Amino acid sequence: MKKVSVYLPCFNEEKHIEKCIKSVLRQTYPIEEILIIDDGCTDKTIEKASKYGVKILTNKKNEGLAFSRNKGILKAKNEFVASIDSDVILDKKWLENLMKEFTSKEISGACGNLEEYYKKRTADLWRLIHMKQNWGEKKIINPKFLFGSNCVFRKSVVKKIGLYNIKYRTNYEDVDMSKRLKHQGHKLIYEPKAKASHLKSDSITSVLKSSWNWTLFSYNQPNNLWKFFLRLFTDMYKSLTYLLEDIINLRLKLIFLDLLIFPSHTLFNVRYYLKAKIFKIKYIN
């Protein structure tokens, strides 16, 4: 049986951390070690996590998600390293179902099916529809990318391609990693039987900011005027696409949020552009 280490990157997740750790401890597949990556927590996250006999690794400051993922991978003692976001809870067979997929050395990573736990509030329903963190109910070899929220990688392979890119502080690090792995001929697996639940609950404001963060590195960062204007057209297109989808599917309660996407993204783009110009920062997140 393949030995597995698990790490949880954490930043102020006192509300969810114990549920997450308990779901890891309930796994039917044996786990050699659990690492908590403290990315500058200022709440009771680490105090609560410490009750479960886990190993705490502390960053000197809030370094960001990619940095914390790299620390988890480098400090893990096993070749197979699983990553669970600290606001995620796992089905008890999550790891068992993923580890079954590592049938050859060509397969370097696998991720599971993350569903939203909260669905009733408008913001949560909008995130469920338009910010999915799964690829559906069918197994896929080499999906577009593996979601970093619940995945397993071979440590040696991730180290060989240079680990995660630390410029991605809050998102897109998983997309970038998957692209580089596939480019070098590695196989990735999406296994929907490996189920997990996302415990995040959003407000209108927070889901608008999250949707902008998700797209920040997907296309041109607005750090000059040309890219800023390109993003205006892209954001307008995305807003109209969401609107049409929700009208066609009679998701009328989501229309208000669809209409807010373009003006809110434009506001975030303006702030990004001004910071980039004033502080001469190439990447902001």
Residues 111, 178 within the same domain = yes
Question: What's residue 151's pLDDT?
Answer: 98
Nearest alpha-carbon partner for 188 in 73, 108, 94: 108
Q: Does residue 140 lie within any of the structural domains? A: yes
Residues 39, 157 within the same domain = yes
Over residues 58-73, mean pLDDT: 96
Contact (CB, 8 A) for 87 and 94: no
pLDDT band at 275 (very low <50, low <70, confident <90, very high): confident
Contact (CB, 8 A) for 268 and 209: yes
User: Helices marked H in the chain — which ranges?
Assistant: 17-25, 45-49, 65-75, 94-99, 122-130, 155-160, 173-183, 204-215, 225-248, 255-279
pLDDT band at 276 (very low <50, low <70, confident <90, very high): confident
Residues 130, 227 within the same domain = no
The pTM score is 0.93
How many domains is the chain partitioned into structurally? Answer: 2
Helix (H, G, I), strand (E, B), or coil: what is residue 256? helix
Residues 105, 230 within the same domain = no
Contact (CB, 8 A) for 94 and 28: no
Q: Does residue 21 lie within any of the structural domains? A: yes
Residues 236, 143 within the same domain = no
Residues 72, 137 within the same domain = yes
Helix (H, G, I), strand (E, B), or coil: what is residue 229? helix
Residue finishing a domain among 198, 228, 247: 198
pLDDT band at 209 (very low <50, low <70, confident <90, very high): very high
The mean predicted confidence, pLDDT, of the chain is 95
Its domain, for residue 240, covers 219-278
Nearest alpha-carbon partner for 31 in 56, 1, 58, 10: 1
Residues 191, 270 within the same domain = no
Q: Does residue 285 lie within any of the structural domains? A: no
Helix and strand numbers, DSSP H then E, in the chain: 10, 9
